[in-house]
């Protein structure tokens, strides 16, 4: 398998992972009493409580994993204008989690949340344009949204920008910028970016190129 194909496979795996605020196990799992309080508050219309309930049902924290129940609570928050909920609902439509897969609906809610500055949605919207799902494939637009998310610290977008520079998708192929972006993602805790860098990218760059790449702050480019 060619290096580009290997990296492409790795990046596709990245797309299956939520941003850290959505997918990781909290430092302390909620108690039954906390969940009951969230439920009480959520039923009264508290957006934060609705999202917390959605999260625990999505991830199966303390309660049994249930995508449909997670969707229900996210939807309640979405209807109140929560961009966090809009991004999560879009993700669930993108992958058909608890609901029938629908890229057009995912595009709708990713766009709405992304335009309001939600980094998770900006990353997801970039992916829709990159892959040409429910819209015409457009690498330039994909890069635009990846950059918006990357500047807010979204490591998945930082990794994807690096991949686009490595592959020359919509931009001039540039291994040095590819390394700089992937290194930024790795330094921000993205293990996938670390794997790509150590196993693939740096093996196809000269020591001089790597030294130059390490001096670049891609956020200032």
- Pair 70, 142 in one domain: yes
- Pair 140, 66 in one domain: yes
Do 122 and 18 touch, CB atoms closer than 8 A?
no
How many domains does the chain divide into?
Answer: 2
Domain encompassing residue 62: 25-153
Do 24 and 55 touch, CB atoms closer than 8 A?
no
- Whose tokens are 């977008």? That residue is 157
Question: Per residue of the chain (221 residues), what is the pLDDT tens digit?
Answer: 455 555 555 555 454 433 333 544 555 889 999 999 999 999 999 999 999 999 999 999 999 999 999 999 999 999 999 999 999 999 999 999 999 999 999 999 999 999 999 999 999 999 999 999 999 999 999 999 999 999 999 999 999 999 999 999 999 999 999 999 999 999 999 988 888 887 767 778 889 999 999 999 999 97
Which CATH number goes with the domain that contains 45? 1.25.40.10
In angstroms, the CA 28 to CA 8 distance is 35
In angstroms, the CA 151 to CA 157 distance is 9
């Amino acid at each position: 398998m060619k290096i580009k194909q290997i990296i492409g496979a790795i990046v596709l795996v990245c797309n299956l992972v939520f941003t850290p605020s959505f997918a990781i196990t909290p430092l302390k799992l909620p108690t039954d009493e906390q969940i009951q309080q969230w439920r009480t508050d959520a039923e009264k219309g508290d957006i934060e409580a609705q999202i917390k309930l959605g999260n625990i049902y999505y991830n199966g924290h303390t309660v049994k994993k249930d995508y449909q129940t997670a969707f229900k609570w996210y939807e309640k928050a979405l209807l109140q204008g929560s961009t966090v909920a809009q991004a999560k609902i879009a993700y669930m439509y993108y992958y058909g989690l608890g609901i029938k897969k629908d890229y057009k609906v995912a595009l709708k809610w990713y766009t709405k949340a992304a335009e309001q500055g939600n980094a998770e949605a900006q990353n997801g919207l970039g992916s829709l344009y990159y892959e040409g799902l429910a819209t015409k494939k457009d690498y330039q637009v994909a890069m635009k949204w990846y950059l918006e998310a990357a500047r807010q610290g979204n490591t998945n977008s930082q990794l994807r920008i690096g991949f686009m520079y490595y592959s020359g998708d919509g931009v001039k192929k540039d291994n040095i910028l590819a390394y700089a972006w992937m290194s930024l993602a790795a330094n921000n805790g993205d293990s996938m970016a670390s794997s790509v860098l150590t196993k693939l990218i740096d093996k196809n760059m000269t020591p001089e190129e790597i030294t130059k790449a390490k001096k670049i702050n891609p956020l200032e480019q």
